Structure 1
């Protein structure tokens, strides 16, 4: 059997330890009080001199260095409860003691996802600009989401734009409103009872913020008898928020770093997709796995412009496990999503509500030895005239990860109409060596003309690029245009 030709490009994006961002530096409360006391004991001249040396050493490495330092000072001021406002020199020095540099991609830069960039101005005919998301992993194995941009053309050529010298956090975080319906559904999932018509919840408006919830909890003494419920509600609302980046930053310098408690140990494997709604408007979404250090949670990131992002929690029996991936449009009036609810097989779900996923049905199971351990999707399905192309991964002997691909019926994606019987891609040569050996993986791909553009991770360390002929793929898939599975 003749294998499909995969053109692996020479371009590789490798982790760069020089990419650092400013993060709050935290120590326990007693030590915080002691450190602030020692700093305040310095004379004005000593504080000014020391801060100037800090400024000289670090300011050129960051945007808005002094602004960030003052934000961290303000956080500490509230912790220690300063009775009088210290001098500006002391404020800046205190802030610098509670700020540190974090190398966002020191350990790995992998598991890419890709969408067409919202700005296609100046792009040559036959080419398109893309926005690439990457999982950046740094100290403590904490994963964040970063971006690169580039150009892909119909001949299969790939170029990557030069990235910014800066790595920058959002300048603002905002609360968002959630509906009572969503809250009631989520609370029932975690076993805290049915809240429909509950007098405690009925006091809240139909849509409410974290601040409004906290105000109610503090003012209503009945919550004292429902500590687990109030804690769960606050935790849930805290996991839903909005972040805004400065407009003068480039996409490659924006860093989506864990913010909510349930994602503090990582925002993993974002699967971006541009979802077009029935009215012709579109928005970018990304499912990702939030990791608290103990538990994982499926979350949804959404944006119109890659400047303002919203983070939303997913609810429902179907919103379980890792690797959920949205279809790029509704099907028969409903949103559609792939998942891996049992950790082993690929499932499909449909919902009228983008944030609530109730039921899932088995779509495809491991069939070949190279996928016997487990399967999962590798990004959102890609629409073609012949059906939905779905990249997948399979895990076989020695925990070797390979990429596969299958085809779903365009109008009824519960029907698998084609499936490649052998791996499309696997780690070869130097690709085998990395943080997790013998792995290729991706969180999304794109089609342009007859070219399938696949950014892929090499052994959980770096990121490469490959292209494949779409027509060759379709011709090679067993059962194309015939129903080979109907779950």
Structure 2
């Protein structure tokens, strides 16, 4: 199978930018319930030192902080006060603070974090909920990306762009600032915490960053596989992702209709204990369906009645060709074509080299495999082999536009690029 007949790499790259920073709580001043006795003593020492300053010195110090950081973040004083509010229990023994003292204290318990300093990779792509600016014959899109910063902590970030009628993609300039959402709702349950998040309307989509919030996500929100889901006249965006606590992984689900408000929910069931789940873009025979990999080796078809509970499953794809002998996995949600469900897969071969392949599943019964690529659609080119994890190309989701598949993909777990695939040529190649 010759890539030249159906695949075109685009000269477009999204690279990590260490200048993009957020502010987040820093230890020892984490949430009061998490402070151990030593941290509480140290936190109180910091507060004591601030309160020992005379009012003029407090005002001067706060002005100096604002002079240094104001242009790097939105609403810094509001952020400082919100951080002081979070520390209220730990500060109770200190009496009454002036507003300026509270703001300065809040600043001492925050730190900047360059959330994409190390990598910007494993992208997925979906139609934008607002198509008012779409070009003739084209479409506006949202690209999700996994960002990695200091300590290998993964978060979720976004870009916007347009796909022209011919399939060429343009990515909009990235916002200079980066912002975290407000936690509007938080519920603890037997399966973990469900969290609802809201960004402000003035924050551009590329400015919005979803950083780990719950204990299960504390070391990363990894590899979000976004899909536009249709249920009758209703459309929503869902993404499965891997929550990593530093000790354990599990699959969780993001839901949004506008990329401004998000709900993050743990998934239940034996099939959700691994990574790499991808939701079909609509129900099949009245049930939700996923492609998943429960055993770290094969791909399974699983169903659910409620979207949140996933059990059992039927193996539909196993390693078959040399480039995927180590394991296979999905590369995002299946894409509906006239011919069937196009499922992009990744295969791991010798020297842990990752390549991207494809399979065609029956539209009515996705457990039936109609065709499969015997060779990779995309493998690391010489210029794509070097990076944080060498010899890897990977994607978390492509989309159809006209007669092409638009494929964002990661290069060696470092940066992201794009390719287009001619559907008719790919179908013919898979038949051969």
TM-score range, shorter chain: over 0.9
TM-score, structure 2 length as denominator? 0.95
Q: Confirm or deny: 8 A CA contact 2:135 2:162 kept in the other structure.
A: no
Q: Confirm or deny: 8 A CA contact 1:144 1:266 kept in the other structure.
A: yes
Residue 2 and residue 61 in structure 1: after superposition, are their counterparts in 2 closer, same or farther (change >3 A)?
Answer: closer
Q: Confirm or deny: 8 A CA contact 1:154 1:450 kept in the other structure.
A: no
Q: Confirm or deny: 8 A CA contact 1:378 1:393 kept in the other structure.
A: yes
Q: Confirm or deny: 8 A CA contact 1:154 1:451 kept in the other structure.
A: no
Q: What are the Cα deviations for residues 309-336 of structure 1, in whole angstroms up to 9, with x where unaligned? A: 0011111122231100000000111111
Where do residues 112-123 of structure 1 align in structure 2 (5 Å cutoff)? 112-123=123-134
| Residue equivalent to 2:84 | 73
Q: Cα RMSD over matched residues?
A: 1.2
| Residue equivalent to 2:6 | 5
Q: 1:379 pairs with 332, 346, 350, which one? A: 332
Q: What are the Cα deviations for residues 46-78 of structure 1, in whole angstroms up to 9, with x where unaligned? A: 111011000011011111111111111122232
Kindly indicate whether residue 112 of structure 2 is the aligned counterpart of residue 101 of structure 1. yes
Kindly indicate whether residue 250 of structure 2 is the aligned counterpart of residue 297 of structure 1. yes
Where do residues 265-414 of structure 1 align in structure 2 (5 Å cutoff)? 265-277=219-231, 279-414=232-367
Where do residues 37-116 of structure 1 align in structure 2 (5 Å cutoff)? 37-116=48-127
Q: Confirm or deny: 8 A CA contact 1:371 1:394 kept in the other structure.
A: yes
Question: In the aligned structure 2, how far is the partner of 1:350 from the partner of 1:2?
Answer: 35
Question: In the aligned structure 2, how far is the partner of 1:170 from the partner of 1:301?
Answer: 14
Question: In the aligned structure 1, how far is the partner of 2:109 from the partner of 2:361?
Answer: 52
- Greater Cα offset, 469-478 or 394-403: 469-478
Kindly indicate whether residue 164 of structure 2 is the aligned counterpart of residue 163 of structure 1. no
Contiguous gaps of at least 5 residues in structure 2: 29-38
Q: What are the Cα deviations for residues 349-376 of structure 1, in whole angstroms up to 9, with x where unaligned? A: 0121100112211010011111000000
Question: In the aligned structure 1, how far is the partner of 2:383 from the partner of 2:286?
Answer: 46
Structure 1 runs of 4+ off > 2 angstroms? 1-5
Question: Greater Rg, structure 1 or structure 2?
Answer: 1
| Residue equivalent to 2:33 | none
Paired positions, count: 421
Contiguous gaps of at least 5 residues in structure 1: 176-208, 214-232, 480-487
TM-score, structure 1 length as denominator? 0.85
Q: Confirm or deny: 8 A CA contact 2:225 2:396 kept in the other structure.
A: yes
| Residue equivalent to 1:477 | 430
Q: Using the TM superposition, give the Cα deviation of residue 153 of structure 1 relative to its aligned residue in structure 2, in angstroms.
A: 2.2
Where do residues 184-203 of structure 1 align in structure 2 (5 Å cutoff)? none
| Residue equivalent to 1:131 | 142
Q: Using the TM superposition, give the Cα deviation of residue 45 of structure 1 relative to its aligned residue in structure 2, in angstroms.
A: 0.8
Q: Using the TM superposition, give the Cα deviation of residue 2 of structure 1 relative to its aligned residue in structure 2, in angstroms.
A: 4.2
Kindly indicate whether residue 217 of structure 2 is the aligned counterpart of residue 256 of structure 1. no
Kindly indicate whether residue 428 of structure 2 is the aligned counterpart of residue 427 of structure 1. no
Partner of 1:168, secondary structure, is coil
